[in-house]
């Protein structure tokens, strides 16, 4: 039997769990652990410049790979700096383990230097948390943390470890557990077959069906089976912001994203549907608009691994609790076995109606302008073209995020990485770094704004240290674009604090950090600059694109209306 200290057990447990990279920042409470880290070579540590970025990097990696991201931070401010990143992961159900140092056990509660109650502070935004009491418990606790983080509905787990528990002079027998069982935690492995039968009956009789698929399809690795089922049934598909890539974005059956900034056809099809197959989606307010007016004629089949997500906002007619992949597979199998057919006549005329909506308004139309100023939509179109739709795209939050979601067509899952639930500015850049570390041969682009990028811009330094040649594309409209849009539409254009005054010269700033900066001001230069950025394979390139500050994101649902109540432009509404 091998004898290890608590500190060594922390790192060894991570290695035995298969963790390659951890993102973190050292500090007093963690120095034993950092020393153990120094004396091994299985786990690679990435030193960030701010702990928030460590969690977003772990998160970006988790979203791209489907595995669990890990952050390592010290007590007090190190731990509290991760709160935004933990909350971001929690809202989007991302598997993450955050290991935080704590002051020595005897000092807990004495307001010691750099003490905070991390378990208490993070409680509302974690799937679970642990305060480790004995060094011997470290391997089992870390095993449990990973098990909880990545099974069922995934989420972040905090493991808080007091410094005395990691004392290098106290050694204990080390065995990393192979399996664990928690009597109070048994996520479902399959859906109820009776409910699945009921759902199939509804789907087969549907006249105006639609598939509304969310982030659960991506997390549940069910994109393939969803695609097969949708194509077998010939049903229209719409993705939520989190679900993009769960169905091929360039396919004929795809109507575009739905909801607040969803496409005209997707929102109208939802409104008029008679059967909605909701898969791994949680009827978020950014999708439903006013719940009282939501889809008045629809029967709803709702598949979700989390029973609490079913009938939380919108009551489901046929609830199915289970992993989306298992449930969809069972549905597909049943359809194939029974040789049942959908109502072809009805669905054909439904498609005719949908195609009419599509051709009358286009999926996401915009006015290209007179060529004097760059339209933000055109930047995303150029990005899509240059990367051939194959890049990992992360975003921050705001207009640029919506433009990216609307105009970049994701044909694969796990390629679109953004903070949908919490809406975290500062997420996109570190998330892109996490992706790039693990997928060094892929193009990774962070679409951001001049507001968002400044929330974690210090990580340019980390990128230099670890040589992370990502591409940052800033839709620079010199204003907090989405705030300004709302102020235009709801506050008579009183731009209260939505200006980004005193912006830095981003080109010179990134050059100071040792990277390449390119400023783009003319529409004619856009394509060339984008190509140049992606041609520089081994350099981080920051494209500062000056875009039209007056552009709005459309469609935009009208507050408290139904799915179909939208502004289609500044002057046209449905």
Q: How far is the CB of 10 from other proteins (least distance, A)?
A: 21
Active-site residue identified among 114, 221, 353, 412? 114
Q: How far is the CB of 33 from other proteins (least distance, A)?
A: 23
Whole-angstrom Cα distance, residue 181 to residue 254? 41
Q: Is 79 in the site for other proteins (CB under 8 A)?
A: no
Q: How far is the CB of 134 from other proteins (least distance, A)?
A: 13
Residue 160 vs 450, nearer CB to other proteins: 160
Closest by Cα among 16, 13, 7 to 38: 7
Q: Is 119 in the site for other proteins (CB under 8 A)?
A: yes
Select from 21-29, 240-248, 300-308, 508-516 the region that touches other proteins (CB under 8 A): 300-308
Q: How far is the CB of 157 from other proteins (least distance, A)?
A: 9
Q: How far is the CB of 436 from other proteins (least distance, A)?
A: 33
Catalytic, 163? Answer yes
Tokens of 530: 């984008």
Q: Is 129 in the site for other proteins (CB under 8 A)?
A: yes
Catalytic, 140? Answer no
Q: Is 388 in the site for other proteins (CB under 8 A)?
A: no
User: What residues pair up with 519 in beta bridges, in sequence order?
Assistant: 544
Among 18, 109, 120, 504, binds other proteins (CB under 8 A): 120
Among 111, 124, 497, 502, binds other proteins (CB under 8 A): 124
CA distances from 309 to 43, 203, 290, 322, 560 (A): 36, 21, 18, 12, 21
Whole-angstrom Cα distance, residue 248 to residue 257? 12
**Cβ(79)–Cβ(126) below 8 Å:** no
Q: Is 98 in the site for other proteins (CB under 8 A)?
A: no
Select from 60-68, 309-317, 428-436, 565-573 the region that touches other proteins (CB under 8 A): 309-317
Q: Is 292 in the site for other proteins (CB under 8 A)?
A: no
Among 3, 180, 182, 535, binds other proteins (CB under 8 A): 182
Displacement of CA 548 from its chain's centroid (Å): 27
Catalytic, 429? Answer no
The pairing of strands 44-47 and 541-546 is: unpaired
**Crossing angle of helices 399-407 and 481-490, rounded to 10°:** 100
Q: Is 109 in the site for other proteins (CB under 8 A)?
A: no
Contact pattern for other proteins over residues 312 through 331, marking x by CB under 8 A:
x--x----------------
Catalytic, 51? Answer yes
**Cβ(294)–Cβ(562) below 8 Å:** yes
Among 80, 83, 108, 185, binds other proteins (CB under 8 A): 185
Among 308, 371, 505, 559, binds other proteins (CB under 8 A): 308
**Cβ(530)–Cβ(541) below 8 Å:** no
The three-state DSSP-derived secondary structure of 14-59 is: HHHCCCCEEEEECCHHHHHHHHHHHCCCCCEEEECCCHHHHHHHHH
Active-site residue identified among 127, 143, 144, 163? 163
Q: How far is the CB of 215 from other proteins (least distance, A)?
A: 17
Residues 144 to 173 in contact with other proteins, rule: CB under 8 A: 148
Q: 């969690």: which residue's tokens? A: 55
Q: Is 183 in the site for other proteins (CB under 8 A)?
A: yes
Select from 16-24, 181-189, 242-250, 457-465 the region that touches other proteins (CB under 8 A): 181-189
Q: Report H helices in 45-153.
A: 51-65, 77-80, 83-91, 118-122, 138-150
Q: In 10 A of CB 371, how many CB atoms?
A: 10
Contact pattern for other proteins over residues 49 through 78, marking x by CB under 8 A:
------------------------------
Active-site residue identified among 118, 425, 482, 530? 482
Catalytic, 2? Answer no
Active-site residue identified among 2, 38, 113, 133? 113
Total binding residues toward other proteins, as defined by CB under 8 A: 19
Active-site residue identified among 8, 17, 51, 551? 51
Q: Is 273 in the site for other proteins (CB under 8 A)?
A: no
Whole-angstrom Cα distance, residue 326 to residue 489? 44
Please tell me the total number of residues recorded for the chain in this structure.
Answer: 574
Residue 87 vs 383, nearer CB to other proteins: 87
**Cβ(562)–Cβ(290) below 8 Å:** yes
Residue 295 vs 342, nearer CB to other proteins: 295
Closest by Cα among 470, 557, 507 to 284: 557
Q: Is 181 in the site for other proteins (CB under 8 A)?
A: no
DSSP 8-state class, residue 389: T
Residue 90 vs 392, nearer CB to other proteins: 90
112 burial via Cβ count (<10 Å: 0-12, 13-18, 19+)? middle
Q: Is 307 in the site for other proteins (CB under 8 A)?
A: yes
CA distances from 409 to 28, 177, 527 (A): 46, 43, 18
**Cβ(387)–Cβ(413) below 8 Å:** no
Among 123, 340, 559, 570, binds other proteins (CB under 8 A): 123
Local structure of 537: helix, strand or coil:
coil
Which residues participate in catalysis according to the annotation?
Answer: 51, 113-114, 163, 482
Residues that bind other proteins in the complex, under the rule CB under 8 A: 119-120, 123-124, 127-129, 131, 148, 182-185, 306-308, 311-312, 315
């Amino acid at each position: 039997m091998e004898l290890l200290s608590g500190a060594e057990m922390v790192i060894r447990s991570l290695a035995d769990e298969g963790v390659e990279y951890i993102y973190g920042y050292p500090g007093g409470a963690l120095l034993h652990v950092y020393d153990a880290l120094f004396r091994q070579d299985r786990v690679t540590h990435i030193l960030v410049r701010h702990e928030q970025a460590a969690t977003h990097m772990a998160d970006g990696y988790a979203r791209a790979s489907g595995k669990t991201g890990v952050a390592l931070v010290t007590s007090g401010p190190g731990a509290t700096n991760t709160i935004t990143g933990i909350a971001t992961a929690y809202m989007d159900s991302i598997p993450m383990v955050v290991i935080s140092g704590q002051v020595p056990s005897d000092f807990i509660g004495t307001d010691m230097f750099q003490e905070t109650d991390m378990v208490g502070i993070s409680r509302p935004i974690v799937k679970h948390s642990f305060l480790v009491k004995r060094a011997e418990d470290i391997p089992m606790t870390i095993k449990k943390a990973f098990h909880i983080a990545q099974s069922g509905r995934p989420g972040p787990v905090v493991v808080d470890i007091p410094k005395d528990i990691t004392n290098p002079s106290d050694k204990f027998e080390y065995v990393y557990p192979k399996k664990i069982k928690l009597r109070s935690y048994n996520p479902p492995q399959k859906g109820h077959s009776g409910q699945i039968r009921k759902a199939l009956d509804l789907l087969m009789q549907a006249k105006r069906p639609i598939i509304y698929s969310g982030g659960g399809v991506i997390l549940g690795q069910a994109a393939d089976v969803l695609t097969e089922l949708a194509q077998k049934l010939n049903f229209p598909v719409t993705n939520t912001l989190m679900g993009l890539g769960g169905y091929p974005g360039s396919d004929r059956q795809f109507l575009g994203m739905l909801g607040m900034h969803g496409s005209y056809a997707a929102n109208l099809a939802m409104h008029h549907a008679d059967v909605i197959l909701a898969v791994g989606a949680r009827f978020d307010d950014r999708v439903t608009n006013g719940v009282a007016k939501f889809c008045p004629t629809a029967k709803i089949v709702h598949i979700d691994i989390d029973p609490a997500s079913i009938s939380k906002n919108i009551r489901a007619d046929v609830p199915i609790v289970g992993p989306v992949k298992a449930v969809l597979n069972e549905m597909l199998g049943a359809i194939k076995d029974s040789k049942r057919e959908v109502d072809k006549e009805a669905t054909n005329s439904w498609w005719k109606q949908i195609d009419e909506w599509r051709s009358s308004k286009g999926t996401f139309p915009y006015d290209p302008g007179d060529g004097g100023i760059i339209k933000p939509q055109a930047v995303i179109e150029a990005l899509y073209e240059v990367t051939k739709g194959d890049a990992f795209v992360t975003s921050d939050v705001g207009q640029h995020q919506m433009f990216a979601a609307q105009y970049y067509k994701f044909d694969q899952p796990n390629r679109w990485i953004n903070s949908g639930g919490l809406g975290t500015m500062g997420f996109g850049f570190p998330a892109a770094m996490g992706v790039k570390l693990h997928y060094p041969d892929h193009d990774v682009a962070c679409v951001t704004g001049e507001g968002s990028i400044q929330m974690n811009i210090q990580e340019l330094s980390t990128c230099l240290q670890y040589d992370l040649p990502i591409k940052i594309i800033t839709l620079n409209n010199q204003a907090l674009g989405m705030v300004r849009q709302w102020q235009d539409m709801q506050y008579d254009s009183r731009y209260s604090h939505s200006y980004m005054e005193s912006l830095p010269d981003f080109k010179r700033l990134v050059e100071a950090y040792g990277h390449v900066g390119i400023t783009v001001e003319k529409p004619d230069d856009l394509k060339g600059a984008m190509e140049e950025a992606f041609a520089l394979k081994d350099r981080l390139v920051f494209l500062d694109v000056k875009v039209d500050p007056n552009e709005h994101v459309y469609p935009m649902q009208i507050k408290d209306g139904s799915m179909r109540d939208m502004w289609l432009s500044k002057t046209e509404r449905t």
